[in-house]
Amino acid sequence: MPHYGYSFEGFDPTVHVRASGREVNISPKAAREVALTIKGMSVPKALDLLELVESKKMPIAFRRHKLKVGHRSELQGFPTGSYPVKVARAFLDVIHNLQGNSEFKGLDPERIRIIHAAGYAGRTLKDYTPRAFGRSSPNFHQLVHIEVVGKEV
């Protein structure tokens, strides 16, 4: 079993709380955009937003990976966005874990603010689809690591 670290520097166990999801089968591009959106939010506000995204009532702004992404009238300040339902579900699981970790440490989950959120590429699952005349085409899947660090304010 591999030992994973965190990309967050300066972790103080008395003040910070963290949670992660390792090698989740979601889109790395959408994970980056969701992480950028929830960074700086309180835990209840992030949970509400992700539940709205999961029910396709509120889009997530796609800032970097925006080509061939439709415009959403609900977004303010940045026009392109999408509804990454699978990614929102994965981040909901990690934030619920963060909430449980904060209760275990004796911190108030309502006062936790997300100070670090990251979704970055993990390992690649290699798969090949057989084609005609003995050929094959690669069908690779990129797994994603999710990290969330919170601090009580």
Give the per-residue pLDDT at 64: 92
**Predicted confidence band of residue 28 (pLDDT cuts 50, 70, 90):** very high
| Per-residue pLDDT reduced to its tens digit, 89-138 | 999 999 999 999 999 999 999 999 999 999 999 999 999 999 999 999 99
- Count: domains in the chain: 1
103/108 Cα distance (integer angstroms):
6
Give the per-residue pLDDT at 108: 95
| Per-residue pLDDT reduced to its tens digit, 43-76 | 999 999 999 999 999 999 999 988 889 999 989 8
Asked, for residue 27, whether it belongs to a domain, the answer is yes
Asked, for residue 4, whether it belongs to a domain, the answer is no
Asked, for residue 10, whether it belongs to a domain, the answer is no
Q: Are 83 and 59 in contact (CB under 8 A)?
A: yes
Domain containing 97 equals 17-152
Asked, for residue 6, whether it belongs to a domain, the answer is no
Q: What is the pTM of this model?
A: 0.92
Asked, for residue 12, whether it belongs to a domain, the answer is no
Give the per-residue pLDDT at 76: 87
Q: Are 139 and 127 in contact (CB under 8 A)?
A: yes
CA angle, 100 as apex, 113 and 6 as ends, to 5°? 65
Domain with residue 21: its CATH number is: 3.90.470.10
137/146 Cα distance (integer angstroms):
29
Distance of CA 2 to CAs 5, 9, 14, 35, Å? Answer: 10, 20, 26, 24
